[in-house]
Amino acid sequence: MPLSFSPATGLLASLDLLRIEVADVVAHVRLNRPAKRNAVNDTLVAQLHTFFVNLPEAVRAVVLTGEGDHFCAGLDLSELSERSVAEGMLHSRHWHAAMDAIQFGRVPVVAVLHGAVVGGGLEIASSCHIRVAEASAYYGLPEGQRGIFVGGGGSARVPRLAGVATMTDMMLTGRTLSAEEGLQRGLSQYVVPAGEGFAKGCELAERIASNAPLSNFAVMQALPRIADLSQSDGLFVESLMAAIAQGDDAAKERVRAFLDKRAGKVREPGAKG
């Protein structure tokens, strides 16, 4: 498939711990340190941040995966012992900036998970908007065993997916969850057989990319913020967002297309296309 990078090609090409391919409107990004099980060192955090704030203009959805047998083994523990308390605080804030660039960036991100999705790997996955797990995926938060605490946004994001009780159990007891258990608890939205995650992720990303950009933006930006508000404030923000979205030309054209029978109907569950 030909690559179609924007003028940002030079910058993105320098991100050597990521493998980046852009096919039409979907970017495929792989964490690319398989020999270290994609453990996330400072450089990789910075490269994730750089990628997500410099997305090529044509990109309308991203699929994020990991090279090798595991999605991500979390924080690169070899860098941990070198840090002072102040540096530790800054390090965590760098993770937060990178994870925010994923969650509150311009386009939705579909994470495709396999093998270990642990520690910072789960923090990266939980910054994405949809998670597809292959059957081999398993989730863990070994921070408790390593004598540390989550620092990449996990305490704010994982409980919003799976609940405080599940995260507490994982951190205190070292319990790991299988792909199926993760699905039941909300850590992923899909489980697929081994080797089928990328195709599923691309299928979802292409569908997402065909939505009006403002609708996707509203889902990404408004939904998590409304969830943090009181019901009354949330409803008010919802009204603002709804009015902005429906005033957009893309919305008007899409509604007209349905009424003129130029656009498809809502699909039944399991229907193709």
- Catalytic, out of 123, 196, 203, 238: 123
Burial (CB count <10 Å: 0-12, 13-18, 19+), residue 129? buried
Work out the widest C-alpha separation in the chain, in whole angstroms.
64
Structure tokens at 248: 């957009």
Minimum CB distance to ligand 1HE, residue 121 (Å)? 7
Smallest gap from residue 74 Cβ to ligand 1HE (A): 3
Residue 82 is a catalytic residue = no
Q: Which x/- pattern, by CB under 6 A, does the window 46-75 give for ligand 1HE? A: ------------------------x--xxx
Answer for which of 108, 152, 197, 201 binds ligand 1HE (CB under 6 A) is: 152
Binding status of residue 173 toward ligand 1HE by CB under 6 A? no
Residue type, 245: A
Between residues 48 and 222, which has the closer beta carbon with respect to ligand 1HE? 48
Measure the CA–CA gap between 14 and 46, rounded to whole angstroms: 12
Question: Closest separation between CB of residue 136 and ligand 1HE, Å?
Answer: 12
Residues numbered 106-125 forming contacts with ligand 1HE, rule: CB under 6 A: 116, 118-120, 123
- b/e string for 199-211 if b means 16 or more Cβ within 10 A? ebbbebbbebbeb
> How far is the C-alpha of 128 from the C-alpha of 126, rounded, in Å?
5
Shortest Å, Cβ 165 to ligand 1HE: 21
Q: Which is nearer to ligand 1HE, 97 or 218 (CB)?
A: 97
Residue 105: which of 150, 159, 59, 44 has the closest Cα?
59
Does 151 participate in binding ligand 1HE (rule CB under 6 A)? yes
Nearest of 133, 151, 128 to residue 64 by alpha carbon: 128
Nearest approach, Cβ of residue 216 and ligand 1HE (Å) = 27
Does 238 participate in catalysis according to the annotation?
no
- Enumerate residues 20-49 that contact ligand 1HE by CB under 6 A: 36-37, 39
Structure token pair of residue 46: 């910075």
* Residue closest to ligand 1HE, measured at CB: 119
Phi, psi at residue 101, to the nearest 5°?
-65, -30
Catalytic residue annotation: 123, 143
